[in-house]
Amino acid sequence: VPGGNPQVKPELMVEHLKATGGKYVTRFPPEPNGFLHIGHAKAININFGLAKAHNGICNLRFDDTNPEAEEERYFTSIIEIVKWLGFTPSEITYSSTHFQHLYELAIELIKKDKAYICHCTGEQIQMHRGGPERGPRTACEHRGRPISESLELFEKMKNGGFEEGQAILRMKMDLENGNPQFWDLVAYRVLKTAHHRTGSEWIIYPTYDYTHCLVDSFENITHSLCTVEFMQSRASYYWLCDALEVYKPVQWEYGRLNVANTILSKRKIAELVNKKHVFDWDDPRLYTLPAIRRRGVPPQAINKFVHTLGVTKSDTVIEVSKLDSFIREYLDETAPRLMGVFNPIKVTLENLPEGHLEMLNVQNKPRDPSMGEHSIPFTRQVWIDGSDFREQDDEDFFRLAPGKTVGLLNVSCPITCTKVIKDESGKVVELIARYENAPGFKKPKTYIQWVAESPKHNSPVRLDEVRLFDRLFHHANPQDKKEVPGGYLSDVNVDSLSIEKGALVEIGLWDIMDRWAKSSETKTDYEAMRFQLTRIGYFCVDKEADLGDFKKPNASIKDTVKNIV
């Protein structure tokens, strides 16, 4: 490791090697106090990736030492997301499993005169820490108390003799040290809150500073990888392992991944949810991993994106558009192309006979036979996208207009608009067009998508609702007070969700719906459910879509199909 490895006593190293067989062992250690976000995808990739690269193993460890913030749904979601990203933990472990062991070691630490019970309030601790205004750093009156007294008081703490805040166990470190991580960190506090795993068994809980290095040690982690804000904690991490004479892993830091145009802080996302700016934690406009997943983003794209960031110490701020390019690249290779139209306009091809039917084989991806093909009907009556027709023609407009010719994708001959039919209000309700099948007709410059009306083929698929997403915030740094003086809530893009009603899609979508219906109960196996609407964007079926009796003639898809990028 750059900077050198810490010295581990030979006899501890022998024990450690017996346990690991010399394997590289890492862990991904989330606190189960929220949903994971895009930044965690980097931590997951680094921990699992480095272990894999060295033929080692990686645990998923829940750092569950703060019962006040932890909830069952976070545990479940974190396990699911790690799996979704494609990683398999060697073991799923919990810091709370070690509460007894940690407690015993705390007694040992007191016995070594390296910890003491303190009754200072947070404010008093700050005072003693000193500073430009507060003067020199000083020890509090409890620091010098006899070992026996601290042992007794620790026992009393454990047995409920103190209320929250009345007593804490502090490590006796080095007040002369310039690193604040040596100023007698808190090891235990009283919390009269039930723990989701240990119930009411404990009313004292170990802190992160006390627990993290010891559990790393118990699990025989070789490389304890963490983000750069823990750089100063490295020395205190080693201090505690040495004080208790336990095996000491190597700590190594890497830069955090920060993403622009969004917000990852739990407190702020909670605010967005509570104030109904977004539907929930997995609203596709957010960058929590459950949200990204629901949006339909392929995990492969996230992993590839994170890989390009490397394992350096610098914190990076990345624009979400950078991630979008990885998503597009992946979807371009994997998502089948379908034709679909928004604001459909009916087009009748006047020179084709009633009941005209051709079945066309279309490739799922143009010029890539390996992706297969599917077949769609072509009939006398088709629908085109509202934006592909203009009554008022214009030199720069190359699609359909009165008297103008345009190609229909996948169809051999172009069409020319011969007549526009309107209702009483002047709204265009139908176009009459000529199918230009005379030999030698000139090839068109532009092709548009279309879907055929053919009840016999259940065509088209009628979509109740298509959700189109845009950025949730206007600015790159919505939390920056200079950029956004009104605060991030004032920066929410109220047009970030628009809903298209009544879109029509060709029947290739039935296959995708079929896979959706057959997929797991959670409807989150998105791989098979992503598709491209040609010339529009990438979409997937939402887990909460209501397909009803979707195989019936003229069935429609209720609720949601939504765009990915």
Q: Is 22 exposed, middle or buried, given 0-12, 13-18 or 19+ CB atoms closer than 10 A?
A: exposed
CB-nearer residue toward Mg ion: 240 or 264: 264
Q: Tell which residue, 180, 203, 173, 201, has the closest CA to residue 191.
A: 203
- Report how far apart, in Å, the C-alpha atoms of 53 and of each of 69, 74, 226, 414, 438 are: 34, 29, 18, 55, 63
| 280 binds Mg ion, rule: CB under 5 A | no
Active-site option among 129, 143, 197, 256: 256
| 500 binds Mg ion, rule: CB under 5 A | no
Among 29, 67, 249, 290, binds ligand ATP (CB under 6 A): 29
CB-nearer residue toward ligand ATP: 82 or 484: 82
The residues that bridge with 422 in the sheet, in sequence order, are: 428
In the range 31-70, which residues lie near Mg ion by CB under 5 A? 31
In the range 17-36, which residues lie near Mg ion by CB under 5 A? 31
Q: Taking the complex as a whole, how short is the minimal distance between the CB of residue 266 and Mg ion, in angstroms?
A: 7
| 349 binds ligand ATP, rule: CB under 6 A | no
Query: Whole-angstrom Cα distance, residue 384 to residue 403?
Result: 16
Please enumerate in sequence order all residues whose Cβ is within 8 A of that of 372, keeping only pairs 6 or more positions apart, or say none: 336, 363, 364
Among 82, 117, 118, 257, binds ligand ATP (CB under 6 A): 257
Among 8, 16, 34, 118, binds ligand ATP (CB under 6 A): 34
Q: Taking the complex as a whole, how short is the minimal distance between the CB of residue 543 and ligand ATP, in angstroms?
A: 24
| 98 binds ligand ATP, rule: CB under 6 A | no
Site string for ligand ATP, 485-514 (x = CB under 6 A): ------------------------------
Core vs surface per residue 435-463: b (16+ CB within 10 A) or e: bbeeeeeeebeebbbbbbbbeebbbbbbb
Q: Mind giving me the DSSP string for 335-397?
A: PPEE-EESS-EEEEETTSPTT-EEEEEEESSTT-GGG-EEEEEEESEEEE-GGGB-SS--TT-
Could you identify the residue written with the tokens 């799922």? Answer: 364
Residue 31 appears among annotated catalytic residues: yes
The token duo for 75 is 């545990």
CB-nearer residue toward ligand ATP: 68 or 394: 68
| 302 binds ligand ATP, rule: CB under 6 A | no
| 209 binds ligand ATP, rule: CB under 6 A | no
Residue 82 near residue 303, CB atoms below 8 Å:
no
Please enumerate in sequence order all residues whose Cβ is within 8 A of that of 146, keeping only pairs 6 or more positions apart, or say none: none
For residue 204, the Cα-to-chain-centroid distance in whole angstroms is: 33
Among 6, 12, 23, 31, binds ligand ATP (CB under 6 A): 31
CB-nearer residue toward ligand ATP: 29 or 284: 29
Residue 234 near residue 253, CB atoms below 8 Å:
yes
Residue 67 near residue 205, CB atoms below 8 Å:
yes
CB-nearer residue toward Mg ion: 31 or 280: 31
Residue 467 near residue 499, CB atoms below 8 Å:
yes
Please enumerate in sequence order all residues whose Cβ is within 8 A of that of 310, keeping only pairs 6 or more positions apart, or say none: none
Q: Taking the complex as a whole, how short is the minimal distance between the CB of residue 58 and ligand ATP, in angstroms?
A: 12
Q: Taking the complex as a whole, how short is the minimal distance between the CB of residue 63 and Mg ion, in angstroms?
A: 7
Q: Taking the complex as a whole, how short is the minimal distance between the CB of residue 31 and ligand ATP, in angstroms?
A: 4
The token duo for 455 is 């009840």
| 393 binds Mg ion, rule: CB under 5 A | no
CB-nearer residue toward Mg ion: 138 or 265: 265
Report the Cα–Cα distance between both ends of the chain, in Å, rounded: 39
β-bridge pairing 405-408 and 337-338 = unpaired
Q: Which does 42 bind (CB under 5 to 8 A by kind): Mg ion, ligand ATP, none?
A: ligand ATP
Among 177, 179, 227, 351, binds ligand ATP (CB under 6 A): 227
Query: Whole-angstrom Cα distance, residue 386 to residue 501?
Result: 13
Among 16, 25, 26, 30, binds ligand ATP (CB under 6 A): 30
| 43 binds ligand ATP, rule: CB under 6 A | yes
The residues that bridge with 254 in the sheet, in sequence order, are: 227
Choose the stretch contacting ligand ATP; rule: CB under 6 A; options: 152-160, 256-264, 318-326, 414-422: 256-264
Q: Taking the complex as a whole, how short is the minimal distance between the CB of residue 62 and ligand ATP, in angstroms?
A: 9
Active-site option among 197, 266, 268, 346: 266
| 268 binds ligand ATP, rule: CB under 6 A | no
| 40 binds ligand ATP, rule: CB under 6 A | yes
Q: Which residues bind Mg ion (CB under 5 A)?
A: 31
Would you please indicate which residues are annotated as catalytic (active-site) residues?
31, 256, 266
Q: Which residues bind ligand ATP (CB under 6 A)?
A: 29-31, 34, 39-40, 42-43, 226-227, 256-257, 264, 266
